Amino acid sequence: MLPTVQLLRLDVEKAYQYEHGKPSNAETVTQLTEIRKMIDGLTDMLSKKDHLPPDEYLKPKEADLIKAFDLAIQTESSKLRKD
């Protein structure tokens, strides 16, 4: 696994553990679970290849991850605005 991806996975795991411990936080926990699955799927695929796949494959995966992070951030921001 690439070091950058490992660091990303670790940061997502920390965020998951933190958010999981908060009450009434199921939506964010679900979103972080999906992000973890996306990263795990990507790292599994990368670990089975002896070379990186072409950008045509990786760019959509990157875009999907960005959208997932944006959704999780928006969810948390909307909670702050309600308080």
Q: What is the 3-state secondary structure (H, E, C) of the chain?
A: CCHHHHHHHHHHHHHHHHHHCCCCCHHHHHHHHHHHHHHHHHHHHHHCCCCCCCHHHHHHHHHHHHHHHHHHHHHHHHHHHHC
List, for residues 15-69, the tens digit of each pLDDT value.
Answer: 999 999 998 889 999 999 999 999 998 888 777 777 777 777 778 888 999 999 9
- The model's pTM is 0.81
So where are the chain's domains? 3-82
Query: Which pair of tokens denotes residue 65?
Result: 């991850």
Rounded CA-CA distance 53/47 in Å is: 11
Q: What is the mean pLDDT of residues 74-81?
A: 85
